[in-house]
Structure 1
């Protein structure tokens, strides 16, 4: 049975002392085949023109998509590696909050494919990303 509280706590623990903590990414919702996180848009994630940096959007997408794959594996025996990510940036954002929502497209034994939509507070699509993760045996 899916345990939302356990998944969100796992994501919180994974984020300590990482880029997710630096970018203030916080995991906010989870369901079977879906994970969501939010990230504030402020000067910490701006590009020189004062807009949300595309790289920060991609970091949010890869963070939420990789953590989502971890929901499907035994993290004591397996680990997840992002092997390809693509992003289409559709709208700019100067301030506020963005939300990355990952939804599974394909869940194989060794490959997971995710669609990650990054939206703003009003639900406007900021970026559309696709992430491929590989599941590997954990090295002892």
Structure 2
């Protein structure tokens, strides 16, 4: 049985990602606020991420949710010598947002050896729930992906 590597700091893990948070997150204006084993939090502007009626695009909320759940899963997977790969996401949109920032907060539902699942709640600046999402990631050995 192979030995599990020691966990790295969140800063070290972020620095090891070949593309940082990724180009899509940059285009969407997603800003990481908190990154820990207990929760991952980020903000995203509504402006620039709207649909034709000026409302926050539902797909933008899903991008935020997938980013946060994937990052939380990656933090859990790293000490196991694995990487997180998204396999399922679903979202329910509760209300619209038309301006300002939305905040996504991801908390773990399940942290296993082969999968991780996070609930992500997206709220507006008043703290009102805009979207609830759940993301599941498979935890895959790094060598399986050629890493």
Residue in structure 2 matched with residue 37 of structure 1 by the alignment: 42
Bigger Cα displacement from structure 2, 80-89 vs 28-37? 28-37
Structure holding more strand per residue: 1
Offset from partner CA, 1:32-66 (integer Å, 9 cap, x none): 32100110110x21001110000000000000110
Q: CA deviation at 1:78?
A: 2.3
Q: Note the 1:50-129 alignment, pairs <5 A.
A: 50-74=54-78, 77-129=81-133
> Equivalent residue for 2:32?
27
Query: Any idea what SS the aligned residue of 2:78 has?
Result: coil
Checking the alignment, whether the CA contact within 8 Å between 1:2 and 1:32 is kept in structure 2 is no
| Superimposed CA distance per residue, residues 12-41 of structure 1 (whole angstroms, 9 cap, x where no aligned partner) | x6224x110110111101333210011011
Aligned length: 138
Q: Provide the C-alpha distance between the structure 2 equivalents of 1:58 and 1:73, rounded to a whole number of angstroms.
A: 22
**Match of residue 4 from structure 2:** none
1:36 and 1:9, CA in 2 relative to 1: closer, same or farther beyond 3 A? farther
- The TM-score with structure 2 as length reference comes to 0.83
Cα deviation digits, residues 81-122 of structure 1 (max 9, x gap): 111111010010011000110000100101111100001122
List alignment gaps of at least 5 residues for structure 1. none
Distance 1:75 1:14, change over 3 A: farther
User: Greater Rg, structure 1 or structure 2?
Assistant: 2
**Structure 2 unmatched runs, 5+:** 1-6
TM-score, normalised via structure 1 length: 0.87
